[in-house]
Structure 1
Amino acid sequence: MAVFDHLGITIDDLARSVAQFHPVLEALGFSRQDADGSVAWQRDGEPELILFPARETDTGPHEHGRVGWQHLAFAVDSPAEVDHLHSIALGAGWSAVREPKKYPRFTDRYYASFVEDDNGIRLEFMYNPPRTTVAS
């Protein structure tokens, strides 16, 4: 059984956030389910991601680096997929925080990009294949 079941994210404007999240999550293979007062995406074997509108107005956006949300990283199969998802996100209205590039400070194989929406929600698309072992 998975330890994480779902991730709920509070956003300012549900319709606007759905327009930003849907193209990205669809490209990652998630299916969308609309409910009364929320929208969710799920992929087999993965935790559900749910957007909820804020109960109070003018409480955002979240500021990166403050207590609370840091970012959500999506592991993908190639640097080309990082580039593709980054492009989809920008086309859906996300802002580039960091363009796709290598991050040798993490590992010599780490390639990632970071995007942020107008709620201050930050996503990372990352490729970090396992280190290959050399047979002796």
Structure 2
Amino acid sequence: MIHHLSLGVTDIERAAAFYDAALAPLGYVRVWSDLRPGEPNQAAGYGIPGGGDTLALKHRPERHQPPGPGFHLAFSAPDPHAVEEFYRAALRHGAKDNGAPGLRAHYGPRYFAAFVVDPDGHKLEAVFNGER
């Protein structure tokens, strides 16, 4: 249904380093980038290796607001260990904890997830919802 989603970020280099680290454990990589320090309209895209982007970061240095209550972006994880690695990498790169890795039985019997808020205030989740 969704081709890609774009997020505005105030510091594109910081954001790219954050998403490089946080998404790697989930199997996602930077598939393209247009980073030109000091210039306008910089961006980077993330997806599966060899594919197109499903997440784009757009440099928006002006003051911005992340999406409001109710919005968060959930990334699929291949297993619970990847959820834990996502969480640790995100925190090491400036995220705020918004829910440590663990089973969320109220979402489903195998719903293992972690929640963080990225350096620009975007709410993120990594989730594994399959057999262990």
Aligned partners of 2:90 and 2:118 also within 8 Å: no
Q: Quote how far apart the aligned CAs of 1:100 are.
A: 0.8
Per-residue Cα deviation, 1:43-74 (whole angstroms, up to 9, x for no partner): 1567521111126x2223x26516xxx11111
Shift of the alpha carbon at 1:103?
A: 1.0
Contact persistence 1:6–1:48 (CA under 8 A): yes
Contact 2:96-2:116 at 8 Å conserved across structures: yes
1:6 maps to which residue? 4
The answer as to 2:51 corresponding to 1:50 is: no
Letter matched to residue 51 of structure 1? L
**TM-score scaled by structure 1?**
0.77
Which position in structure 2 is the counterpart of 1:133?
none
Structure 2: stretches of 5+ with no match in the other structure:
36-41
**Stretches of structure 1 lacking an aligned partner (at least 5 in a row):** 131-136
Is the CA contact (8 Å cut-off) linking 2:46 and 2:52 kept in structure 1? no
Structure whose alpha-carbon radius of gyration is higher: 1
- SS in structure 1 opposite 2:2? coil
1:66-104 CA distances to partner (integer Å, 9 max, x unpaired)?
6xxx11111212222211111111111111100111111
Counterpart position of 2:14: 16
How do 1:1-136 and structure 2 match up within 5 A?
Answer: 3-27=1-25, 28-35=27-34, 37-43=42-48, 44=50, 47-54=53-60, 57-60=62-65, 62=66, 64-65=68-69, 70-129=71-130
RMSD of aligned residue pairs (Cα, Å):
2.2
| Structure-1 separation of matches of 2:10 and 2:106 | 34
| Sequence identity percentage | 24
Please say if residues 102 and 109 of structure 1, whose CA atoms lie closer than 8 Å, have aligned partners that are also in contact.
yes
- C-alpha distance 123-105 of structure 1, shift in aligned 2 (>3 A): same
Which whole-Å CA distance do the structure 2 matches of 1:29 and 1:117 have between them? 17
SS in 2 for 1:93: coil
User: Given the two structures, how large is their TM-score scaled by the length of structure 2?
Assistant: 0.79
